[in-house]
């Protein structure tokens, strides 16, 4: 198990390297330099700036330098937020993003799983149709539509909750962004859980469990839930990626100071180091979380062997 | 059981699986309603902009930020610049739907070719090709697409290509899985035993049998693609003026939602309705083509 | 005994489907006394499993029942679900046809057995362990102390069925319902499981309700037999009496459906048609990216020769390499060693060099559902070979040839515009035969062509094959795990095990006096040793 985890970690390295390399060279082939937009700088000052940021070195050298800095957790300086390094910005933003994203995935599981199980147990009943119809709506309405609508209804019209802002992470400020971020995932998880639960309930080993005289509650809890969870667990990777991507717009809409917002602002301001830093950071995060999901899966399913 | 035909003696001509699937689909009210609605939305987006009295950028100097009304001629209101919202939404629909069609086609072509080649050749080639897909899978593609848009500027052709290039992975996996499974089926072996040429086996046996899941997956890819484009546009990274798309309009509407909520609602309803119908249709097609899963 | 252990009284079960109500079982009655074995026999769709599923209270929700099922006088159909759960696994236990999927893949087998003891005996955790271990030992699981902590996927199919039996026996039930418990297993494993059941029945004194389609098993296993057909019970009686003098036509037909007849051998000097020398086939076990693959040799140096007009039978259990051998002979798989067909060397020929020969050597596969392309009409399927080998034929002439071939296999040519899913298993197999015959081949590879069919359908297909051989002078290579069928059709038999031929000879000699221990074991398992009538 441990050696398997280690092996998977090693496999993640080339993936990350691809992300970093792609991001780095994409930036460098981009037309224009980082200091173009501002008023024309005197040539000697620009040369000084270039030297200070090592932009005067040959490209391969810059690439290696960037890799070396990355290894030390240094993403370089931000071009627009003058007094901050990208690392500073990520360090400031990440806890906020983590809180929202983490709560969203927890909420998605806490609501999606039971809804899926209930729909499966009451298959083809009014409850099932209601849950699945709502889920389809949840999938069809994108989070960047849900978020402003939530803000409009609960923030502006009803004034129950703040329509935006962070306020140091106070609970009322958390509710709407977390809800907006998780709705789509709740819907997906409920659908996947329902489908896999129905399949498991029709399986031969559930028939065996009933033939043993177990109560329906035990049959469901002990024999059906865990195997039915497996497809949901393999969906967690995409779900996490979806929530991370979604957090970019949600932070934008609700004005939350997470890295998603830095990313969008960086992109719009052509703050190349910041964009690249966030992309690399997100890439590493997604790769790492995928690894954790895979390990979780193999812990749940004894049929997975570690020898390959 | 005897060897005489026990099937109903209604007609000598049998029902192909395709015709049976179509019959099952027609019985699915939700899917059929979705199909009609989608047709109506598409027609409106294609023909509508010619029929409305306003152009995409026409400003009605008498109507800035007018709410939907039947009298002023602005059925769905105007935006803060006095532009007719219905016209703009239909124009936006053209862009969103064209991205959906083109990007889905790009993903379809790449995915089907890649998947079919990997599955049909099998062995080491397959192994190598699928490892590559695995690596691509774990890349944070969404962010690379955004990076691409940032670097190369917002260009609708780039959007087509970038989104298509992101979405082909699932298609490739599905087609490969189908091809591998079909290759092991005995009717393919029987065709080999008859001496049927490889090319014919692919066109006559493999493709017709793999087409069902591909159709279903295409219907499910279209909403994903529309969503992706709107997402980029919403962030201000998609199409730019003078073009507009549903994502752009929703983004504009979000900014104005306190004073002109219809600016958010109108494009949102169009987008959500389209996605809703496509998902319903995809589900319906899956049930119709593979009744076992119901 | 005044009160039977189980009494099924005028039981009717209907399934309320959206299309309407479909009767599954129509007013059937039977009884089982304590300690006896009753066999419920029928073909697929006869409703033979419905009454026992009803007794267990495991019918799907859309089933509607009338009548009564009394267990020790208590009506199970009227009993509360809670009461039924007390009985299930405790007084009435059940084993199923699907050993591979009947155990929960995520739980250790020891825990799954202990669960029954926990539910009905209140034994928890460690307290159940000695009893579980004892049960595993009784059902013949090697190293029970270690195996108790295994997961199902670490066991073979036969072992999993043993675990199911251990689970069923845990509370020493009065009635064991065995629903086709050996159908998915190889014959030798089947024999072991049946012997185990008999032995355990003696030890525990339980009654067994044995549900099967296999008359061979019934004859050796059951005290009494009930024959079912289309939801009705057509005949019942003592096993020996019923087999000796079946009263109902259907029973007679079933018994007659046991493959009969023998093939007369061809002349010693008949010309050789197909010959193979030192034939070997290997598969890459694990495809590795940069290292050489690991190989498994499925066929290990086989010599064989088939004369014109002969039927050579190959028997063996799953994994013996018999199907691989057949495919390699037709060059559907890569192999090493010489293959000659009618004096032309086949080995090393590429696809285009093989093509002209393909019309002379054809194949019929086992799976009547997988061997016809679902998207083509029957006419297109049968005519496809003509497109390749007789491209000069026009549409009309091809159609005429297709109709001829369909008539040849006793199918109505008017059905050629239909699609395969509209046909039954037996009809599909006839279509597959027509597809081969339309090319007028000399040699036909028959790879388990009757194994997926009910016995009565099987008999008609065998008759058809025999008739076609006579009329067209065909040569067959007949691959099967079913010794009775091979015996009826083949004049020479090869017995395969682990990729090698362990014994060969002409059919009668081999069946009368098998030399090898493995052949004898196969025959004993197939109940052919004692009724060589």
**H helix intervals, chain B:** 17-27, 29-51, 85-121, 123-137, 141-152, 156-183, 186-194, 198-200, 207-234, 246-255, 262-289
Q: Is the dihedral of CA A99, A105, A109, A112 positive or negative?
A: positive
Alpha-helical runs (H) found in C143-222: 144-147, 157-169, 187-204, 215-221
Residues of C in contact with B7 (CB under 8 A): 415, 418, 422-423
In a domain, C402, yes or no: yes
**Residue C296 maps to a domain:** no
Q: How far, in Å, CA of C379 to CA of A272, rounded? A: 65
pLDDT in tens, B197-230: 888 888 888 888 888 888 888 888 888 888 888 8
C459 and C47 Cβ atoms separated by less than 8 Å: no
Q: C319: Cβ–Cβ under 8 A, 6 or more apart, which residues?
A: C498
Cα separation, A23 vs B143, in Å, equals 10
What residue numbers bound the domain in which A207 lies? 93-272
Work out the number of other CB atoms within 10 angstroms of the CB of residue C399: 17
Chain centre distance of CA C341: 32
How far CA C295 is from CA of A3, B183, C205, C317, in Å, comes to 27, 21, 49, 21
- Establish if A39 belongs to a structural domain: no
Is B81 part of any domain? no
Q: Report the range out of A159-163, A264-268, C197-201 with the highest average pLDDT.
A: C197-201
Residue A33 pLDDT: 58
Residue B233: half-sphere exposure toward Cβ, Cα within 13 Å? 35
CB C367 within 8 Å of CB C440: no
Q: Does A302 touch chain C (CB under 8 A)?
A: yes
Question: Is residue A84, in this structure, part of any structural domain at all?
Answer: no
SS3 A41: coil
Query: Do the Cβ atoms of B231 and A290 come within 8 Å?
Result: no
- Residue B5 has a pLDDT of 38
Domain for residue B4, yes or no?
no
The whole-number pLDDT of residue C533 equals 34
Instruction: For chain B, positions 166-225, list CB contacts with chain C under 8 A.
Output: 185-187, 189-198, 204-205, 208-209
Q: Do B4 and C412 touch (CB under 8 A)?
A: yes
Q: C417, exposed or middle or buried, with CB in 10 Å at 0-12, 13-18, 19+?
A: middle
Secondary structure letter of residue C481 according to DSSP = S
pLDDT one-digit tens code per residue, B147-182 = 777 777 767 777 778 888 778 888 898 888 888 888
C378: containing domain: 368-440
Q: What is the mean pLDDT of each run of 10 residues along chain C (533 residues)?
A: 85 87 91 94 88 89 91 92 92 90 92 93 88 92 91 90 92 93 86 91 93 88 93 92 91 83 82 93 68 78 92 90 92 90 86 90 88 89 93 92 94 90 89 94 93 85 93 94 90 93 92 91 75 39
> Are residues B112 and B207 in contact, defined by beta-carbon separation less than 8 angstroms?
no
Q: C252 and C372 in one domain?
A: no
User: Does A214 contact C at CB distance below 8 Å?
Assistant: yes
Length of chain C in residues, anyone? 533
Residue at which a domain ends, from C440, C471, C486: C440
Q: CB within 8 A of B279, min separation 6: which ones?
A: A136, A139, A140, B220, B223
**Which of C330, C418, C457 lies nearest to residue B193, judging by beta carbons?**
C330
A63 falls within a domain? no
Q: What are phi and psi of C141, to 5 degrees?
A: -85, 120
Question: Nearest-CA neighbor of B193 among C360, C448, C466, C408?
Answer: C360
Token pair listed for C457: 């359908």
Q: Give the pairing type, strands C492-497 and C311-315.
A: parallel
Inter-chain residue contact A211 with C56, CB threshold 8 Å: yes
Between C355, C361, C422, which is nearest B14 by CB?
A: C422
Residue C106 near chain A (CB below 8 Å)? yes
- For residue C410, the distance in angstroms to the closest alpha carbon of chain B comes to 7
More confident residue, B35 or B64: B35
Task: With a cut of 50, say whether residue B293 has pLDDT above it.
Answer: no
C232 and C378 within one domain: no
Asked whether residue C159 is assigned to any structural domain, the reply reads: no
A245 domain-assigned: yes
- Structure-model confidence comparison of residues B56 and A207, the more confident one: A207
Provide the domain count of chain B: 1
> Of C475, C458, C480, C476, nearest to C526 (Cα)?
C480
Rounded-to-integer distance, Cα A289 and Cα A238, Å: 10
- State how far the Cα of A138 lies from the Cα of A128, in Å rounded to an integer: 15
Number of domains observed in the structure of chain C:
2
Note the pLDDT of residue B46: 86
CB C50 within 8 A of CB C58: no
pLDDT above 70 for B4: no
pLDDT at C528: 62
Q: Please, what is the Cα angle at B216 between B214 and B218, to 5 degrees?
A: 70
CB-based burial of residue A31 (10 Å sphere; 0-12 exposed, 13-18 middle, 19+ buried)?
exposed
Across chain A, what does the average pLDDT equal? 84
Contact C116 A207 (CB under 8 A): no
- Measured in angstroms, the CA of C103 and the nearest CA of chain B are apart by 23
Average pLDDT over residues A122-126: 88
- Which pLDDT does position A307 carry in this prediction? 46
Final residue in a domain of this structure, among C256, C291, C326: C256
Q: Decide if B85 is inside a domain.
A: no
Domain assignment of residue C310, yes or no: no
**What pLDDT, on a 0 to 100 scale, did the predictor assign at position C530?**
47
SS3 C225: strand
In chain A, beta strands by DSSP E: none
Residue that has been written with the tokens 């008759």 in this structure:
C463
Which pLDDT score is estimated for C532? 37
Please answer yes or no on whether B190 and C435 come within 8 Å at the CB atom.
Answer: yes
CB contact A205 to C (< 8 Å): yes
Sheet containing C311-315, strands listed edge to edge, beginning at the edge strand earlier in sequence: C361-364, C443-447, C475-480, C311-315, C492-497, C500-506
Does C412 sit within 8 Å of B5, measured CB to CB?
yes
Are B14 and C435 inside 8 Å of each other by CB? no
- Which pLDDT score, from 0 to 100, does residue B52 have? 74
B interface test, pick of A140, A153, A198, A249 with most B CB neighbours within 10 Å = A140
The answer to the question of residue C397 being in a domain is yes
Q: Cα separation of A68 and A83, whole Å?
A: 22
CATH code for the domain in which residue B180 is found: 1.10.3720.10
Answer yes or no: is A286 within a domain.
Answer: no
Q: What is the pLDDT of residue A68?
A: 87
The complex's ipTM works out to 0.82
Calpha distance A57→A62 (Å, rounded): 6
A60-72 average pLDDT score? 86
Please give the helix or strand (H or E) that residue C21 lies within, else none. Answer: strand C20-32
The DSSP secondary structure of A53-98, one letter per residue, reads TTTTS-HHHHHHHHHHHHHTT---B-SSSTT-BHHHHHHHHHHHHH
Last residue in a domain, options C192, C223, C256: C256
Same domain, C70 and C201: yes
| Domain limits for position B255 | 32-48+99-293
Q: Quote the tokens at residue B4.
A: 């005489």
- Per-residue pLDDT averaged across A280-293, rounded? 84
Q: Does any domain span residue A218?
A: yes
Q: Do B194 and C388 touch (CB under 8 A)?
A: yes
| Cα torsion B95, B100, B103, B106: sign | negative
Q: How many CB atoms lie within 10 A of CB C146?
A: 10
In a domain, A74, yes or no: no
Q: Band the pLDDT of B8: cuts 50, 70, 90.
A: very low
Q: Within 13 A of C36's CA, how many CA atoms are on the CB side?
A: 15
Phi, psi torsion values for C16, nearest 5 degrees: -85, 90
Distances (CA, A) of C147 to B213, C109, C123, C172, C182: 42, 8, 20, 22, 22
- Flag if A303 and C58 touch (Cβ within 8 Å): no
pLDDT score at B7:
38
The neighbouring-strand residues paired with C226 are C40, C236
C105 and chain A in contact, CB less than 8 A: yes
**Rounded distance, CA A126 to CA A27, Å?**
54
Q: Classify residue B226: in a domain, yes or no.
A: yes
For range B90-119, the mean pLDDT: 88
Q: Any idea what the CATH number is for the domain that residue A210 is in?
A: 1.10.3720.10
Rounded CA separation C144/C164 (Å): 14
Q: Which helix (H) or strand (E) holds C479?
A: strand C475-480
Does A210 sit within 8 Å of C88, measured CB to CB? yes
**Confidence check: pLDDT of A143 > 70:** yes
Please indicate whether, in this complex, the C-beta atoms of C106 and A203 are within 8 angstroms of each other: no
**Number of independent structural domains in chain A:** 1
Selecting from A203, A207, A214 the residue whose C-beta is nearest the C-beta of C119 gives A214
A263 falls within a domain: yes
Q: Could you say which of C56, C89, C151 has the minimum Cβ distance to residue A302?
A: C151
Say yes or no: C504 contacts chain A, CB-CB below 8 A.
no
Q: Per the domain annotation, does C74 fall within a domain?
A: yes
3-state SS track over B14-74: CCCHHHHHHHHHHHCHHHHHHHHHHHHHHHHHHHHHHHCCCCCCCCCCCCCCCCCCCCCCC
| Residue C11, beta-bridge partner list | C28
Q: Which residues in chain C have Cβ-Cβ distances shorter than 8 Å to A204?
A: 96, 98, 101-102
Is C457 buried (19+), middle (13-18) or exposed (0-12) by CB count in 10 A?
A: buried
């Amino acid at each position: 198990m441990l050696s398997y985890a280690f092996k998977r970690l090693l496999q993640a390295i080339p993936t990350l390297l691809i992300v970093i390399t792609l991001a780095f060279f994409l930036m460098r082939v981009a037309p224009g330099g980082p200091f173009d937009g501002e008023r024309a700088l005197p040539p000697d000052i620009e040369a000084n700036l270039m030297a200070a940021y090592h932009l005067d070195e040959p490209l391969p050298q810059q690439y290696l330098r960037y890799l070396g800095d990355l290894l030390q957790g240094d993403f370089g300086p931000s071009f627009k937020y003058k007094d901050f390094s990208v690392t500073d910005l990520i360090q400031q933003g990440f806890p906020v993003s983590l809180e929202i994203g983490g709560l969203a995935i927890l909420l998605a599981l806490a609501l999606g799983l039971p809804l899926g199980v209930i729909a499966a147990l009451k298959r083809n009943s009014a409850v099932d149709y209601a849950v699945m119809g709502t889920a389809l709506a949840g999938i069809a309405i994108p989070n960047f539509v849900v978020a402003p609508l939530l803000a409009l209804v609960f923030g502006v019209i009803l004034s129950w909750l703040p329509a935006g802002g962070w306020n140091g992470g106070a609970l009322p400020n958390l509710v709407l962004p977390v809800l907006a971020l998780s709705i789509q995932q709740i819907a997906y998880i409920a659908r996947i859980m329902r489908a896999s639960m129905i399949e498991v309930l029709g399986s031969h080993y559930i028939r065996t469990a009933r033939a043993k005289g177990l109560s329906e509650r035990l049959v469901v809890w002990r024999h059906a839930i865990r195997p039915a969870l497996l497809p949901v667990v393999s969906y967690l990777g995409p779900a996490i990626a979806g929530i991370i991507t979604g957090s970019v717009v949600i932070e934008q809409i609700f004005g939350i100071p997470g890295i998603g917002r830095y990313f969008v602002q960086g992109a719009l301001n052509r703050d190349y180091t910041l964009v690249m830093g966030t992309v690399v950071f997100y890439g590493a995060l997604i790769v790492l979380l995928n690894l954790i999901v895979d390990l979780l899966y193999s812990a749940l399913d004894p049929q997975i062997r570690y020898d390959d | 059981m005897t060897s005489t035909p026990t099937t109903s003696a209604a007609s000598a001509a049998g029902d192909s699986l395709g015709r049976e699937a179509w019959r099952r689909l027609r019985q699915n009210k939700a899917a059929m309603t979705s199909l009609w609605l989608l047709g109506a939305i598409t027609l409106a987006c294609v023909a509508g902009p010619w029929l409305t009295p306003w152009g995409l950028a026409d400003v009605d100097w008498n109507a800035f930020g007018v709410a939907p009304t039947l009298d002023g001629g602005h059925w769905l209101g105007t935006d803060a610049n006095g532009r007719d919202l219905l016209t703009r939404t239909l124009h936006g629909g053209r862009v969103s739907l064209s991205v959906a069609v083109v990007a889905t086609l790009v993903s379809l072509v790449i995915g089907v070719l890649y998947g079919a080649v990997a599955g049909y050749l099998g062995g080491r080639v397959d192994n190598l090709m699928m490892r590559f897909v695995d690596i691509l899978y774990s890349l944070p593609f969404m962010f690379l697409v955004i990076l691409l848009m940032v670097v190369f500027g917002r260009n609708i052709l780039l959007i087509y290509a970038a989104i298509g290039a992101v979405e082909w992975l699932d298609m490739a996996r599905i087609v490969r899985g189908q091809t591998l499974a079909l290759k092991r089926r005995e009717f393919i072996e029987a065709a080999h035993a008859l001496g049927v040429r490889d090319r014919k086996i692919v066109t006559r046996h493999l493709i017709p049998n793999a087409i069902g899941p591909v159709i279903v997956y295409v219907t499910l890819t279209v909403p994903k693609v529309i969503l992706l484009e709107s997402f980029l546009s919403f962030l201000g990274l998609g199409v730019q003026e003078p073009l507009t798309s549903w994502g752009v309009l929703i983004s504009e509407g979000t900014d104005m939602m306190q004073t002109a909520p219809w600016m958010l609602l109108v494009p949102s309803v169009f987008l959500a309705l389209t996605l809703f119908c496509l998902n319903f249709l995809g589900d319906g097609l899956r049930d119709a083509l593979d009744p076992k899963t119901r | 005994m005044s009160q039977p252990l189980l009494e099924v009284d005028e039981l009717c079960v209907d399934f309320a489907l959206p299309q309407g109500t479909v009767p599954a079982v129509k007013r059937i009655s039977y009884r089982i006394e304590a300690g006896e074995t009753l066999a419920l026999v029928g073909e697929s769709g006869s409703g033979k499993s419905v009454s026992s599923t009803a007794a267990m209270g495991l019918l799907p929700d859309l089933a509607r029942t009338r009548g009564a099922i009394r267990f020790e006088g208590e009506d199970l159909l009227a009993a509360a679900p809670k009461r039924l759960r007390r009985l299930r696994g405790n007084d009435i236990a059940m084993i199923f046809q699907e050993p591979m999927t009947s155990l929960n893949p995520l739980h250790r087998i020891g825990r799954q057995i202990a669960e029954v003891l926990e539910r009905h005996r209140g034994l928890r955790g460690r307290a159940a362990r000695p009893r579980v271990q004892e049960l595993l030992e009784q059902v013949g699981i090697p190293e029970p102390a270690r195996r108790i902590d295994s997961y199902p996927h670490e066991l073979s199919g036969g072992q999993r069925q043993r675990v199911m039996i251990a689970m069923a026996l845990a509370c020493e039930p009065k009635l064991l319902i065995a629903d086709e418990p050996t159908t998915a297993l190889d014959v030798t494993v089947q024999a072991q499981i049946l012997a185990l059941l008999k032995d355990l029945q003696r030890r525990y004194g339980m009654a067994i309700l044995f549900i099967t389609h296999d008359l061979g098993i019934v004859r050796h296993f059951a005290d009494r037999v009930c024959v079912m057909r289309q939801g009705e019970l057509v005949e019942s009686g003592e096993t020996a009496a019923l087999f000796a003098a079946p009263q109902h036509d259907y029973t007679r037909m079933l018994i007659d459906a046991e493959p009969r007849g023998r093939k007369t051998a061809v002349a010693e000097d008949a010309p050789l048609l197909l010959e193979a020398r030192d034939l070997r086939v290997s598969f890459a076990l694990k495809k590795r990216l940069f290292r050489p693959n690991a190989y498994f040799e499925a066929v290990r140096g086989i010599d064989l020769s088939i004369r014109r007009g002969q039927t050579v039978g190959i028997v063996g259990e799953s994994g013996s390499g018999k199907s691989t051998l057949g495919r390699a002979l037709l060059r559907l798989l890569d192999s090493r060693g010489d293959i000659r067909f009618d004096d032309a060397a086949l080995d090393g020929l590429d696809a285009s060099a093989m093509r002209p020969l393909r019309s002379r050597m054809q194949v019929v596969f086992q799976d009547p559902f997988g061997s016809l392309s679902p998207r083509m009409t029957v006419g297109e399927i049968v005519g496809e070979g003509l497109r390749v080998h007789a491209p000069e034929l026009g549409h009309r002439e091809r159609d005429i040839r297709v109709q001829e071939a369909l008539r040849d296999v006793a199918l109505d040519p008017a059905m050629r515009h239909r699609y395969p899913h509209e046909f039954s298993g037996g009809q599909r197999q006839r279509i597959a035969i027509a597809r081969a015959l339309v090319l007028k081949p000399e040699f036909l590879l028959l790879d388990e062509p009757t194994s997926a069919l009910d016995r009565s359908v099987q008999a008609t297909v065998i008759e058809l094959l025999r008739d076609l051989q006579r009329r067209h002078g065909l040569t067959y290579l007949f691959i099967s795990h079913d010794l009775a069928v091979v015996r009826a059709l083949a004049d020479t038999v090869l017995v395969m095990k682990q990729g090698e031929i362990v014994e060969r000879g002409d059919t009668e000699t081999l069946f009368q006096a098998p030399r090898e221990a493995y052949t004898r074991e196969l025959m004993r398992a197939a109940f052919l040793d004692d009724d060589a009538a």
